[in-house]
Structure 1
Amino acid sequence: MAFDPDLVDRMEAALVALGQRPERRRMFGGIALMIGGNMSFGTSRDELHVRVGPDQYEAALAKIGAREMDLTGRVMKGWVTVDGPSDLDDDALADWARMTADFVTTLPVK
């Protein structure tokens, strides 16, 4: 399996709890959750990819399990990868959801 469907459900629920209406899309062998047409979360293999934006980037990297997102040999600023996301409790996942929603909702709707 290329992604953890339970994790996608939990990610979606965390965004819904914040009043968002995420849309699922298959992307990069996993699932991405879009807010207003902009990607917020993604998952593939046993990794969680979170779009946090430039202002929260350093704070996101300081969180346990987070590292620079590099899928192609080039670091994607404003994005972090979280290793072992299935081990995150609901509060930790809610923190990631808040962080991504805070940024993604500032972007123009596509």
Structure 2
Amino acid sequence: MAYDEGLAQILRDHLTALQGVEEKKMFGGICFMFNGNMLCGVHKGGGMFRVGKDNHAEALKIDGVSPMAFTGRPMGGMVDVDPDLMGDDERRGQVMRLALDFVGNLPAK
């Protein structure tokens, strides 16, 4: 398995009450889509969140968050999170709020 199923379950549980969430296998991991737009996901070694460029600097201030650079180049508006953050309800909640703030304002697909 290319990703940690336990981390995927943490996100499933976190997103249970949110309407419009779908799960898709993507990039060797699992992505959670909100109204058709990528919100967050898990991959080998942690997770990722789509916080948007306006929230990017704020997200990077949270312990356990780093720029996402799957291809070696940073992806603006996307952040990588370590497994410790994924297991911490408070810090994961902070990053999730930033991601929902951004993705929740995108047009539904």
TM-score (norm 2): 0.88
Which digits, 9 at most, give the CA deviation of each residue in 1:24-79, with x for residues without a partner? Answer: 00001100000011111121111211100111100101111111110112211001
1:10-21 correspondence to structure 2 within 5 Å: 10-17=10-17, 19-21=18-20
Q: Which runs of 4+ in 1 moved over 4 A?
A: none
1:66-81 correspondence to structure 2 within 5 Å: 66-81=65-80
1:1-110 correspondence to structure 2 within 5 Å: 1-17=1-17, 19-85=18-84, 88-110=87-109
Unaligned runs of 5+ residues in structure 1 are: none
**How far apart, CA to CA, are the structure 2 residues paired with 1:49 and 1:86?**
11
SS at match of 1:56: helix
**How far apart, CA to CA, are the structure 2 residues paired with 1:48 and 1:15?**
14
**How far apart, CA to CA, are the structure 2 residues paired with 1:87 and 1:104?**
19
**How far apart, CA to CA, are the structure 2 residues paired with 1:21 and 1:9?**
17
For residue 91 of structure 1, report the CA deviation from its aligned partner: 2.4
Identity %: 39
Tell me the C-alpha RMSD between the 2 structures.
1.7
Letter in 1 for 2:10: R
**How far apart, CA to CA, are the structure 1 residues paired with 2:79 and 2:85?**
16
Unaligned runs of 5+ residues in structure 2 are: none
TM-score (norm 1): 0.87
